[in-house]
Amino acid sequence: MARKLAVIGAGLMGSGIAQVSAQAGWDVMLRDVTDAALTRGTDGIKASYDRFVAKGKLEAADAEAALGRITTTTDLDAVADADVVVEAVFEKLEVKHEIFRALDKLVRDEAVLASNTSAIPITKIAAVTERPERVVGTHFFSPVPMMQLCELVRGYKTSDETLATAREFAESVGKTCIVVNRDVAGFVTTRLISALVVEAAKLYESGVASAEDIDIACKLGFGHAMGPLATADLTGVDILLHATGNIYTESQDEKFAPPELMRRMVDAGDIGRKSGQGFYKH
**190-273 to CATH, choices 1.10.1040.10, 1.10.1060.10, 3.40.50.2300, 3.40.47.10:** 1.10.1040.10
pTM of the predicted model as reported, rounded to 2 decimal places: 0.90
Helical packing angle, 60-68 and 35-54, nearest 10°? 160
Q: Please state the rounded mean pLDDT for residues 165-192.
A: 95
Q: Model confidence over 181-208: pLDDT tens digits?
A: 999 988 999 999 999 999 999 999 999 9
Query: For residue 214, what pLDDT is reported?
Result: 98
The DSSP call for residue 281 is B
Q: Is 55 annotated as a binding residue?
A: yes
The angle subtended at Cα 65 by Cα 64 and Cα 69, nearest 5°, is: 115
CA 184 to chain centre: 16
Q: What is the CATH number of domain 4-180?
A: 3.40.50.720
Q: Are 219 and 226 in contact (CB under 8 A)?
A: yes
> What residues does each domain of the chain span?
4-180, 190-273
Helix H or strand E segment including 149: strand 149-154
Q: Are 2 and 166 in contact (CB under 8 A)?
A: no
Q: Model confidence over 14-43: pLDDT tens digits?
A: 999 999 999 999 999 999 999 999 999 999
Residues in the chain: 282
Query: For residue 2, what pLDDT is reported?
Result: 57
Q: Please state the rounded mean pLDDT for residues 104-127.
A: 95
How many beta carbons lie within 10 A of that of residue 161, not counting itself?
12
Q: Are 265 and 278 in contact (CB under 8 A)?
A: yes
Query: For residue 1, what pLDDT is reported?
Result: 54
How many beta carbons lie within 10 A of that of residue 10, not counting itself?
27
pLDDT range class, residue 61, cuts 50, 70, 90: very high
Q: Is 118 annotated as a binding residue?
A: yes
How confident is the prediction for the chain on average, in pLDDT?
Answer: 95
How many beta carbons lie within 10 A of that of residue 176, not counting itself?
10
pLDDT at 119 over 90: no
Q: Is 115 annotated as a binding residue?
A: no
Q: Please state the rounded mean pLDDT for residues 143-151.
A: 95
Distance CA 120, CA 227 (A): 24
Helix (H) and strand (E) counts in the chain: 11, 8
Helix H or strand E segment including 22: helix 12-23
